[in-house]
Structure 1
Amino acid sequence: RTVEPGWVLVAAFLTGVYGGYFGAAQGVILMGVLGIGINETLQRLNGIKNVLVAVVNGVAGLIFVAAAEHGLLGSDAEVDWLVVVVIAAGAVVGGFLGAAVGRRLPPLVLRSVIVVVGLTAVTLMLAT
């Protein structure tokens, strides 16, 4: 096991801060950081990224729920638990499908998919 350079930990932390607030393209940004800073296969980095993004989203979700329940987001802020369940179910299905597909794709194809998804996300965000 090699020790990651300090900048990777700082960049991963900053990606977590960004993802906890906004989340758009967080996985693509984190893949860039991990891909440049950690000498590991793309499939393993993708798995690490999935776990880190899940932790960030889980923590951010808990914080937003706690803030809403305590009136910190305004007195009319409510958590729509049906939406929470639907998003959680989609995340579980997507996580399993992504892991299954990601392990089977050759590194060049996986890298290409990541780049295309990232460019598409940036284009759509800038267009709206």
Structure 2
Amino acid sequence: MTGWEQLAVLGTGLAAGVLTSTVGVASLLSFPVLLAVGLPPVVANASNTVGLVPAGLSGSFGYRQELREHPRATVLVLLTCAAGSVGGAFLLLALPPGVFEAVVPWLILLSCLLVGAQPWISRWLRRTRNEPTRLRHDMSPATVVFAVLTGAYGGYFGAGSGVMMAAVLGLGTDFPVRIVNALKTLAVLAANVVATIIFVVVADLDWLAIGLLAAGSVVGGYVGARLGRKMPPTVFRVLVVIAGVGTAVFMLF
């Protein structure tokens, strides 16, 4: 990489860190930049995952107050997404590139639809429950299953995994947006950490790109957490839908 390309990757890491802790589509920005500076797709994907781990760490630290409020959900999100990520990381290494290209954009678009419609869906779900006024602060078995699947997708590719987790948590629980943002950031971290352990052992990585992404993303992740905890619910949903649709369109075309 030239000096200007290195600077571009560093700046991309900063912006991707902010996206990790807010709308959850960091790879939409960072993955194409790594391709643009000459990394092969699989190397770029694996290096991108490793380079964004510091964003998840600093973002989760920024959300530490929110994560302490619901320790049971925090532990469940951590474990389910880490477990799912193991399978996703091995799929990335075992399957030919592009296997999920026809399916993933539509999954992201569905997640965007669910996030956008979440207030209406949640009200309908509350009316159908025996205890419509009781808030759901525990993850149901179905929510846990979808969290594992989201973790698997995060380990495989990751673009839009934060949007998917926001949809899972938004429909499966009654947490406020700041808690969803915190848990979503932790989910991305869990998936990336497990995938990183696997990639470091068996994958080809570009350590210069990883170092530059990491240096920028560790700052961006914390800044994003400060923004995300103050973000109004409507603004959060609008930004998630816009970012998710952008991700899907990018992957389709």
Match of 1:19 in 2: 154
Distance 2:188 2:162 in 1: 7
Q: Deviation of residue 3 (structure 1)?
A: 2.3
Distance 1:91 1:110 in 2: 21
Q: Deviations over 1:72-117 (max 9, x none)?
A: xxxxx4x322211122223322311221111122111111111111
Matched, 1:46 2:172: no
Distance 2:237 2:226 in 1: 16
Matched, 1:112 2:233: no
TM-align CA RMSD: 1.4
Unaligned runs of 5+ in 1: 69-76
Unaligned runs of 5+ in 2: 1-69, 71-136
Distance 1:47 1:124 in 2: 26
Q: How does 1:84-103 map to 2 (within 5 A)?
A: 84-103=210-229
Query: Secondary structure of 2:229's partner?
Result: helix
Matched, 1:64 2:202: no
Preserved CA contact (<8 Å) 1:8 1:34: yes
Distance 1:87 1:57 in 2: 14
What is the identity percentage for the equivalent residue pairs of Structure 1 and Structure 2?
A: 42
Query: Secondary structure of 1:104's partner?
Result: coil
Distance 2:143 2:173 in 1: 8
**What is the TM-score normalised by the length of structure 1?**
0.85
Distance 1:47 1:65 in 2: 27
**What is the TM-score normalised by the length of structure 2?**
0.44
Q: Aligned partner of 1:44: which letter?
A: I
Q: Name the structure, 1 or 2, with higher relative contact order (CA <8 Å, separation 6+).
A: 2
Q: Deviations over 1:22-77 (max 9, x none)?
A: 11111111111011101100111111110110111111011011113xxxxxxxx4
Match of 1:33 in 2: 168
Which of 117, 122, 125 matches 2:248?
122
Q: Aligned partner of 1:93: which letter?
A: V
Q: Deviation of residue 119 (structure 1)?
A: 0.9
